[in-house]
Structure formats: structure tokens, C-alpha cells
Chains A and B, each alone.
Chain A
Amino acid sequence: DTAVSQTPKYLVTQMGNDKSIKCEQNLGHDTMYWYKQDSKKFLKIMFSYNNKELIINETVPNRFSPKSPDKAHLNLHINSLELGDSAVYFCASSRADEQYFGPGTRLTVT
């Protein structure tokens, strides 16, 4: 009965590589989000999609590209990974007001 799921849970990769994180929600929600939690545990929104359309795009390097193939999925692709991209990335979804978060993907760039 998982609500918001993310894969992989852990991702270790080298600088310069390209990687993707997948997110799926089975709540029937219209809106999905990506957040980044840095080493100081500070959470900040990156992107938001509503019905597969981008509605929030914060100041994020264009190496980060979200893709929403359908309402239930929002994937995050990262090109040319840098050391500073190391963080925990959370996916979330909402229908009206309350946001539900996935378990997070811990990305480590070496």
C-alpha cells in the first residue's frame, strides 16, 4: 500500500556521470514535486508538475531535468553530476493541500 515510492533508495556515482531517480505515486494525486535536502537537512523545492505540466521551476541548474510521463510518475534526470549534487532528493505528491513525501533517494557523488 505504498503511497509515494522512489527508486533507487541509495545512489553512489562518480562526477560527470548522468543518473536518474524515479518516483511513482498511487494516490491519484494531480501534482508531484521534487525537493532537495542538503547536508544541513534544509529542504528546498526544485520542481512541481500538475497533470504532467511544469508549474514550479526554482533556480535549479539546467543539468536537472524532470520528466512526467503520466500523472502518477515524475522522474528526475541529472546530467554531468557534480560533488555539490550530493544530497537526499525527495519526491512528493498532493491533490489539494496536503503533501505526501516519498522515502527519499540519497545521492552521493564521488
Chain B
Amino acid sequence: KQEVTQIPAALSVPEGENLVLNCSFTDSAIYNLQWFRQDPGKGLTSLLLIQSSQREQTSGRLNASLDKSSGRSTLYIAASQPGDSATYLCAVHGSGNTGKLIFGQGTTLQVKP
């Protein structure tokens, strides 16, 4: 049974810092991995999608890496801004392309001005 864990649960940093959010999963047979952002009281916004054959994806100040063999993904945020404050969720799409995403419990990030 696939389980997804995100560490840390909460993180507070001063503006301008580079930071790394961690995601680990127990079954390396995944189809892809998706990082989301959730603002309080809002829905989920897709940030990055990494296919199982890829090692990393980049979008602006965000870079996500994937190491299937070790069951890990990281989300790197460069030059953090107060507007980056949100909960970041990692979700693993199991093998077979069923569409079923297994979510971690998220990392709540606060970037202080």
C-alpha cells in the first residue's frame, strides 16, 4: 500500500531564503508525481508534474526532483517571497495510470517579510 510522507509539517523562513520541501513514498512503482499548492480556504493549484521517467521539472523559481529508487521527491523554492506562503502537497500517481493520487499531508510554509 502506497504511503506518502511530507517533512517538515510546517516551516517558517525569512523572505529571500532558498528552501527545500521533502516528500517520500513507500512504493517506487509510480506513474508520476505531482506537487500542488493550497492557499487557506482555496482549492489546489498544480505546480509541477514529474513523470516517472524524468528526474526533475522546473517552473520559474520552483524546481522539483524525483528519485524513484529511493522513493523521494523534493520541491526547491528559490528566493522565497511572502506570496509563497501556503500549504504544499505532494501526490503520487500509482503505476497503471488509474488516475488515483495518493497525497501526503502537506508542508505549511510561512515566508516572513
Which A residues have a C-beta under 8 Å from some C-beta of B? 4, 31, 33, 40-45, 48, 50, 55-56, 90, 92, 94, 97-104
Give the dominant DSSP class at A's interface: strand
CB-nearest residue of chain A to B43: A103
Interface pair B89/A99, CB less than 8 Å apart = no
Give the dominant DSSP class at B's interface: strand
Interface pair B42/A103, CB less than 8 Å apart = yes
Interface pair A98/B105, CB less than 8 Å apart = no
Q: Is B87 an interface residue (CB 8 A)?
A: yes
Please give the distance in Å from B3's CB to the nearest CB on chain A: 12
Q: Is B32 an interface residue (CB 8 A)?
A: yes
Which B residues have a C-beta under 8 Å from some C-beta of A? 31-32, 34, 36, 42-46, 49, 51, 87, 89, 91, 93, 97-101, 103, 105-106
30 A-B pairs with C-beta separation under 8 A: A31-B99, A33-B99, A41-B87, A41-B105, A42-B103, A43-B89, A43-B91, A44-B103, A48-B100, A50-B99, A55-B98, A55-B99, A90-B43, A97-B31, A97-B49, A97-B51, A97-B93, A97-B97, A98-B46, A98-B49, A99-B34, A99-B91, A99-B99, A99-B101, A100-B46, A101-B43, A101-B46, A103-B42, A103-B43, A104-B42
Interface centre among B34, B91, B100, B106 (most CB of A within 10 A): B100
Q: Which residues of B contact A101 (CB under 8 A)?
A: 36, 43-46
Interface pair B98/A90, CB less than 8 Å apart = no
- Give the docked Cα–Cα distance between A42 and B36 (Å): 13
